[in-house]
Amino acid sequence: MDTDRKALLHAGCSAVSWSTQDGKKLWGRNLDFNRMARGSMVTYLPRGGRYSTCLTETKEKPWVGEGTHTAAYAAVGTGLFLAPAAPVLYEGINEKGLMGGQLYYRQFARYEEVVRPDTSPIQPPFLVCHMLSQCATVEEVTRAAEQEFTLVNRPMLGTVPPLHWMFSDAAGECVILEPDEDGLRVYRHTIGVMTNSPGYGWHRLNLLNYAGVRDMDYDEVEVEGERLSQCFSGSGAQGLPGDWSSPSRFVRLAFLKKYAVKGENEGQGVVRLFRMLQSAAFPLGMVKVSQPGHVTQLDQGVVPYDYTLYTGVMCAQSLRYYWTTYENPRIRCVDLNHLLSREEPVQFPLGEEPEFQCLTEGAL
């Protein structure tokens, strides 16, 4: 069992959709955990590729695939291959501009024990890949979730990761899928923000606790005839939570999405979305985990802290996937249009080594 790959399936994160002043639709996420699975790279999956959505480990063969499909659309995002025909994407974008990813949903996720009639079985880590391979819009994602597949409670690599999902399309609508005790909940026309547990409905209602938060500073304050003049900026946002818990990150991103100035074009929009996601990112050392999980000799780069391993941002119109890593904040990208003619998968290293641009080198 490749236990280091098992680890990343339990990651947490923050996700947000946004747009630019010229109408570009963006979606981005932070992936937060205390290790990165070996083999995780920016991964291109071609149109027409065959893949499985359910794997079983046997003594005779490492993997036996079930629920085999042919990809209708090409996609690119960060992920890995558990087997040649079993790609996992943590998030990504397809050639129709559908974007989305998985988020950790600890204590709340519930999956089916029996596959519903006339549906295909899907183990939770394969859902992003399947949706991006088969759906062009949020409407199609919704139909597939309600009618075409069953999320099954079957271990993969010794675990059933608790997940929920968020998808956004080229029109800008966002849908959130949450497998709860009462079944799979589908939230349409959401505010376009999601973090981790509790569920979306709870987070949405919790925003009422911060209804007074605003972007405008408070000016002068009068107390018993005494006038106190403003001496610092940001007083309108007093009370906005600043910790790294899931509820606080949700509130912070919702506030930023409402008030932050959108980019004029894709370039500005992407940079500003990265900046927005930094407000919810985990600095290394600030979130010490109380339940790090079982660590084996195969796990690499394990630290006792959750931190933001990487941030990914994508644009539905240009089909570009941008990313940064914790140690390398330089924004890199791949363009899906450049890859569509390829018939085989391609992977690109995340590039975690720091890069610096020295302006004086060779200048004298």
Report the greatest alpha carbon distance in the chain: 84
DSSP 102-163: EEE-TTT---BSSPPTT-EEE-GGGHHHHHHHH-SSHHHHHHIIIIIEEEB---BTTB---E
Query: Which positions ≥6 away from 21 have C-beta within 8 Å?
Result: 262, 263, 264, 265, 269
Of 13, 135, 174, 315, catalytic: 13
Write out the two tokens for 355. Answer: 């890069």
Q: Which helix (H) or strand (E) holds 270?
A: helix 266-278
Per residue, the 3-state secondary structure of 171-221, as one string, reads: CCCEEEEEEECCEEEEECCCCCEECCCCCHHHHHHHHHHHCCCCCCCCCCE
CA neighbor of 340 nearest in space, from 27, 24, 42, 45: 45
Q: How far is CA 216 from CA 74, 127, 219, in A?
A: 44, 41, 9
Give first-to-last CA distance, the chain, whole Å.
55
Tell me which residue has tokens 């919704």: 142
Asked if the bond preceding 198 is cis, omega within 30° of 0, the reply is yes
Q: Is 231 a catalytic residue?
A: no
Is the CB of residue 128 less than 8 Å from the CB of residue 71? no
Which residues are designated catalytic?
13
